[in-house]
Amino acid sequence: MVEKRDNTSNNDDDQQRPPGSLPVAPQPGILVTPDLEGKKVKGASLDAGSLAALLAAADDDSTCGADRPDPIGEQSAVIADVSSAEYNAFEGRDKNEGLNGAEGNGGTTTLQGTNGVAPLETPPHRDEPSDGEPREAQVASVAESSDTKAQAFQEGEGSARPLHTEEPHMTHSDSNDVPDGNTTGVPAINTQENTEERRIPTLSDLSVNQQMRTDMYAIRGRVVTPRSIITDGAVVIAGDAIAWVGESTDAVAAGFGDEIVAADSPTDERFVLPGLIDIHNHGGGSELFPSVQTREQVMRAVMDHRRHGTTSMVASLVTASPLVLRERAELLADVCDDGELAGIHFEGPFVAQGHCGAQDPAHIQSPNPALTRELMVVSRGHCVAMTIAHEKPYAMGPSGVAETLIEGGAIPSFGHTDANAAQTRKALREVREMFLKASHPRSPQATVTHLFNGMAPPHHRDPGPVFEFLADAAGGGIVCELIGDGVHLDPHIVTTTYELIGREQIVFVTDSIAAGFEQGSYSLGSTHFTIGQDRRPLMPEGGLAGGAAHLIDVVRTSHQGGIPLVDAVFCASGVPARILGKSTLGTIEVGKQADLLITDADLRPLRVIRRGKDIE
Total H helices, total E strands in the chain? 17, 23
Chain centroid to Cα 110, Å, comes to 32
Higher pLDDT, 575 or 358: 575
**Among 88-92, 250-254, 269-273, which is the least confidently predicted range?**
88-92
Peptide bond into 349 cis (omega under 30): yes
The 10s digit of each residue's pLDDT in 167-208 is 444 333 333 333 333 333 333 333 333 333 444 455 545 545
Contact between 90 and 79 (Cβ < 8 Å): yes
Percentage of the residues of the chain whose pLDDT score is greater than 90:
55
**Among 129-143, 374-388, 533-547, which is the least confidently predicted range?**
129-143
DSSP class of residue 234? E
Q: Which of 338, 324, 328, 285 is nearest to 308 (CA)?
A: 285
Tell me how far apart the alpha carbons of residues 585 and 127 are, in angstroms, rounded to a whole number: 11
Higher pLDDT, 62 or 467: 467
Higher pLDDT, 161 or 375: 375
**Which amino acid is it at 568?**
A
Tell me how far apart the alpha carbons of residues 277 and 309 are, in angstroms, rounded to a whole number: 9
Higher pLDDT, 613 or 59: 613
Tell me how far apart the alpha carbons of residues 216 and 204 are, in angstroms, rounded to a whole number: 15
The 10s digit of each residue's pLDDT in 289-307 is 999 999 999 999 999 999 9
Report the pLDDT value the prediction gives residue 184, as an integer from 0 to 100.
34
Mean of the pLDDT values across residues 113-121?
38
Tell me how far apart the alpha carbons of residues 349 and 356 are, in angstroms, rounded to a whole number: 10
pTM: 0.69
User: Starting from the edge strand earliest in sequence, which strands make up the sheet with 276-281, in order?
Assistant: 276-281, 310-318, 343-347, 383-388, 411-414, 447-448, 479-482, 506-508
Mean of the pLDDT values across residues 360-374?
94
Report the pLDDT value the prediction gives residue 436, as an integer from 0 to 100.
94
Tell me how far apart the alpha carbons of residues 603 and 599 are, in angstroms, rounded to a whole number: 5
The set of residues, in sequence order, having a beta carbon less than 8 Å from that of 114 and lying 6+ positions away, is 398, 399
Calculate the average pLDDT of the chain.
Answer: 74
Tell me how far apart the alpha carbons of residues 425 and 408 are, in angstroms, rounded to a whole number: 24
Report the pLDDT value the prediction gives residue 518, as an integer from 0 to 100.
65
